[in-house]
Amino acid sequence: MSLHPMKLVTVICESVLEEQVVELLRDCGVQGHTAFDVRGSGSQGLRNAEMRECGNVQIEVIVKPEAASSLLENLRAKFFEHFAMVAYESEVRVLRPQKF
């Protein structure tokens, strides 16, 4: 069995953005994603999950190493100015690289 290096891009943003972020992922040619609701704090204050309108969501995507930085760049360009958002990449090693 061999493992293949990939990038995991993680985005934490306001729940209202989930649909738009997923759309952007699709536009960037990403094949899948995983999302879950989180709560958190940051420069824009506390975001507890009580009201969905003010909630946070964490979105994780595995992409080919070369695709990660353009994806992050697109996220930055589209959302960073106006919205609470944190985005980062890290290294992972997957089975079945053809999936991603």
Partner 1 sequence: MDFFSTIESNLLSPAVLFFALGLFAAVTRSDLKFPEALYTALTLYLLTAIGFKGGVAVSEAGLAAVWQPLLAAVGMGCLIPLVAFPLLRRLGGFDQANAGAIAAHYGSVSAVTFIAATNFLKNIAVPYESFASAFIAVMDSPAIIMGVMLGKGSLSRGASRPDQGLRRTLRDAVLGRGVLLLVGSLLIGMLSGKRGMASVEAFFVTPFQGVLALFLLEMGMVAGNRLGDLKKVGPFLLVFGLAAPLVHGSLGALLGTLAGLSVGGTTLLAVLAGSSSYIAAPAAVRLALPDANPAYSLTASLGITFPFNIVLGIPLYFEIAKFLHR
Ligand X SMILES: Nc1ncnc2c1ncn2[C@@H]1O[C@H](COP(=O)(O)O)[C@@H](O)[C@H]1O
* Token duo for residue 9: 């891009």
Among positions 18-37, residues that touch ligand X (CB under 6 A) are: 31-34
Contact (Cβ atoms closer than 8 angstroms) between residue 85 and residue 22: no
* Token duo for residue 3: 């493992």
Among positions 47-76, residues that touch a copy of itself (CB under 8 A) are: 56, 58, 62, 69, 72-73, 76
Q: Which does 16 bind (CB under 5 to 8 A by kind): ligand X, partner 1, a copy of itself, none?
A: partner 1
Identity of the residue, 80 or 100, whose beta carbon is nearer to partner 1 in the bound complex: 80
Distance CA 90, CA 7 (A): 6
90 binds ligand X (CB under 6 A): no
End-to-end CA distance of the chain: 17
Distance CA 88, CA 71 (A): 11
In the block, tokens 């003010």 appear at 54
47 binds ligand X (CB under 6 A): yes
| Cross-strand partners of 72 | none
Contact residues for ligand X, defined by CB under 6 A: 12, 31-34, 38, 40-44, 47, 56, 60-62, 84-86, 100
Contact positions vs a copy of itself (CB under 8 A):
1, 3, 6, 8, 10, 12, 22, 31-43, 56, 58, 62, 69, 72-73, 76, 80, 86-96, 99
